Amino acid sequence: MTIYFVDFEASGLGPLSFPVELGWAWVEDDHVEARSLLIRPVEEWTANGCPGWDLVAEALHGLSLARIEESGLSPRLAVAEFTSRVEIGEVSFDTGQNGQDRKWLERVSSAADVPQELSLRPEATGTMILSMAEKAGVGDVAWTALECLGPKATHQAAVDASRWAWWPIAISRVSNAGLAGISNLNQCVELIRPVVGSIEIRGSTGDLTRLQGQSYGVRVTHRDFLPW
């Protein structure tokens, strides 16, 4: 079953805050596919001067209220698009099935008046990835090397979802190359770098606009997708 790694960006972390961007990524063959969409706020979220909008959060993710109001999908369309893509797989949140991202999903689903019936993995994504690494025999040094070379958090939903989808491919490549048990960190980094450096993250034109800053061991390639 396909695992979809999901990430939200939000207007803030307060009780009146709301989701503004939804990104998801998955492993397809030997590369990562990533998608994202902006969520147009409903009137209830922005009433009374939009108290749930945090300028610090805006500075982090780079999305203005004007942009999501102009370019975002309504919650109903956003939920429909997202669920149509991931309903046959399992959804993994880096905060686990009861964490903040689950709450954002419930908030946008509630605004769309659509029940949330997706299959959610119970553990946090990081816990699942660590378990994968342990099963593949990835030692502490190889794990540290992968952390050095892997994608970093950017507060861009498609990028942050894709950085988690990068890990299963990287773990598999390192294990298959016989590099999982190397004990010297500098040597390990140099040997692993070319093994994982060619992992591709592919996405739609809109996603790639937000993916351009990604350069940590990941090669982003442009492909033509129909807009959706």
Q: In this structure, is residue 146 part of a structural domain?
A: yes
- Name the residue among 169, 202, 214, 151 with its Cα closest to residue 36: 202
Give the CA distances from residue 43 to residues 18, 50, 91, 106, in Å, rounded to whole numbers and listed in that order.
Answer: 12, 9, 28, 17
Q: In this structure, is residue 227 part of a structural domain?
A: no
- Strands 19-28 and 31-38, sheet pairing: antiparallel
Q: In this structure, is residue 226 part of a structural domain?
A: no
Q: In this structure, is residue 14 part of a structural domain?
A: yes
Q: Which two tokens stand for residue 140?
A: 């502490």
Q: In this structure, is residue 82 part of a structural domain?
A: yes
Q: In this structure, is residue 114 part of a structural domain?
A: yes
Give the CA distances from residue 127 to residues 16, 88, 122, 124, 169, in Å, rounded to whole numbers and listed in that order.
Answer: 29, 22, 10, 5, 16
The CATH number of the domain holding residue 43 is: 3.30.420.10
The pTM score is 0.88
- Name the residue among 126, 111, 202 with its Cα closest to residue 164: 126
Number of compact structural domains in the chain:
1
Tell me the pLDDT of the chain (228 aa) as tens digits: 899 999 999 999 999 999 999 999 999 999 999 999 999 999 999 999 999 999 999 999 999 999 999 999 999 999 999 999 998 899 999 989 899 999 999 999 999 999 988 999 999 999 999 999 999 999 999 999 999 999 988 899 999 999 999 999 999 999 999 999 999 999 999 999 999 999 998 886 444 445 444 433 333 333 222 222
Q: In this structure, is residue 161 part of a structural domain?
A: yes
Domain that includes residue 138, residue range: 3-221
The burial of 85, by beta-carbon neighbours within 10 Å (0-12 exposed, 13-18 middle, 19 or more buried), is given as middle
Q: In this structure, is residue 32 part of a structural domain?
A: yes
